[in-house]
Amino acid sequence: MMRWLIFLGRVALGFVFVYAAYTKLFEYTAEGWRQLPWISFAATIQSYKVLPEDAAMFLAKTLPWFELALGVLLLIGVQLRWVATAASVLLLTFFAVLVRSYVLGMNIDCGCFGPGDRLTWKTLLRDGLLLFMSISVTVGAFLTRRKTADVSALTRAPQPADGRSE
């Protein structure tokens, strides 16, 4: 049962990260899809008043690609303990910045899923649930890995104490 919950959680998180990256890498305008709208995403990052302009521009250019990589790795399940840990740290950082901005009464776009996503209590609820899911997948991945390792150690053929095989 635990493995299925971890599987469902990592697939859901994977799709969320891929979708979040997609909305930041492509923007729909009246003229059609515009590729790589870094400037508008950098402005959204800058509205949080946490980073200097150069850092916001760097983050706007790199964060969507990192989210995309995390999403794909979550979907395929490669190195799940470490990928889920990275996702949890990233979501914890996002959540902390969102809470700070909400408490300060900043009337800004969240930027989580592209432009037009206002920062409200619903945004905090959604991102808090994503953070909870990510931490659950991370903890589950570590626990499942340990159980599997313990079981395999118990089921291996005993080896002689001197290290020679018989």
Predicted pLDDT at 114 = 74
Would 163 be classed as within a structural domain? no
Query: Which residues of the chain register pLDDT less than 50?
Result: 148-157
Are the beta carbons of 81 and 145 closer than 8 angstroms?
A: yes
- In sequence order, the 6+-apart residues with CB closer than 8 A to the CB of 33 are 26, 27
Name residue 111's beta-bridge partners: 114
Predicted pLDDT at 90 = 97
Predicted pLDDT at 160 = 60
| 101 class by beta-carbon count within 10 Å (0-12 exposed, 13-18 middle, 19+ buried) | buried
Would 74 be classed as within a structural domain? yes
Would 30 be classed as within a structural domain? yes
What does the alpha-carbon distance between residue 150 and residue 84 come to, in Å, rounded to a whole number?
21
**How many domains is the chain built from?**
1
For the chain, the C-alpha Rg in angstroms (whole number) is 20
Would 67 be classed as within a structural domain? yes
pLDDT in tens, 80-114: 999 999 999 999 999 999 999 999 999 998 888 87
What does the alpha-carbon distance between residue 47 and residue 61 come to, in Å, rounded to a whole number?
16
Would 97 be classed as within a structural domain? yes
Q: What is the span of the domain harbouring residue 114?
A: 2-149
Would 161 be classed as within a structural domain? no
Which token pair is 64? 């969507």
State the residue for tokens 């949890």. Answer: 88
Predicted pLDDT at 36 = 59
Would 51 be classed as within a structural domain? yes
Predicted pLDDT at 132 = 96
- In sequence order, the 6+-apart residues with CB closer than 8 A to the CB of 7 are 77
Predicted pLDDT at 131 = 97
Predicted pLDDT at 113 = 85
DSSP code at position 151: H
Tell me, yes or no, if the pTM score tops 0.75: yes
